[in-house]
Structure 1
Amino acid sequence: MRFLADENLFEPIIEYLREQGHDVLSIRGRLSGIKDDEVYKIACQQNRIIITMDKDFSKIFRYHPNKLE
């Protein structure tokens, strides 16, 4: 699977997913500090599932899985 790990996700989780053979792009590093809307756009453009601890992403009407704003 293809995941996009938000910068608040613990590194051991990212490492575990990669060890299991998943393609994980992490926001940490060069993308650190980008807004939620940008995280959403990257996930949609690259067909990735967002993994986050940020409760703002639970607003399904704002971040609908079938709608790129």
Structure 2
Amino acid sequence: MRIVVDENVSYSVVLRLREKGHKVVSIAKEKKSTSDKDIFHLVLEEEAILITRDYHFTNPILYSPNKTEGIIYIRIGNLRSDEEVKIVERFFANYSPEQFKGKLVTLYRNSVHIR
């Protein structure tokens, strides 16, 4: 899978996804301080999944998930890096890309909401 990881997500998530063989663009390391609009255009160009903690990406008028491979929004307050990695890994272990393509996914500590 092609995945764009926003700069507000732990870099440990990027490393783990790369270990699993995914093509990952890290905004924090490769495109720091990129605007939300430009991140969204990158997601569209790359035909990638976006993983973010930025609430702005949950606005379907500005950032329509149905144009993407999926937007994954981590909606959990303070997390250690290892906790964030586990939550993302658990999601990918339980859901195939077809189940969330074009959708907004909200990850909570113990649940997932796909719309």
What are the ranges of 5 or more consecutive residues in structure 2 without an aligned counterpart?
Answer: 69-115
Q: Secondary structure, in 3 states, of the residue corresponding to 2:25?
A: strand
Higher helix share: 2
Structure 1 residue 28: deviation in Å? Answer: 1.6
1:45 aligned to 2:42?
no
Structure 1's 18 and 30: CA in aligned 2 closer, same or farther, altered over 3 A? closer
Q: Which runs of 4+ in 1 moved over 4 A?
A: none
The percentage of aligned residue pairs carrying the same residue is 31
Q: Which has the larger radius of gyration?
A: 2
Partners of 1:52 and 1:11 in 2: how far apart?
12
Larger RCO of the pair (alpha carbons < 8 Å, separation 6+): 1
Higher strand share: 2
Q: Which residue in 1 is equivalent to 2:36?
A: 36
Q: Which residue in 1 is equivalent to 2:12?
A: 12
Partners of 1:21 and 1:6 in 2: how far apart?
18
Cα RMSD, aligned residues only: 1.4
Task: Give the alignment's TM-score, normalised by structure 2.
Answer: 0.54
Structure 1 residue 29: deviation in Å? Answer: 3.0
Task: Give the alignment's TM-score, normalised by structure 1.
Answer: 0.87
Q: Secondary structure, in 3 states, of the residue corresponding to 2:29?
A: coil
Q: Which residue in 1 is equivalent to 2:111?
A: none
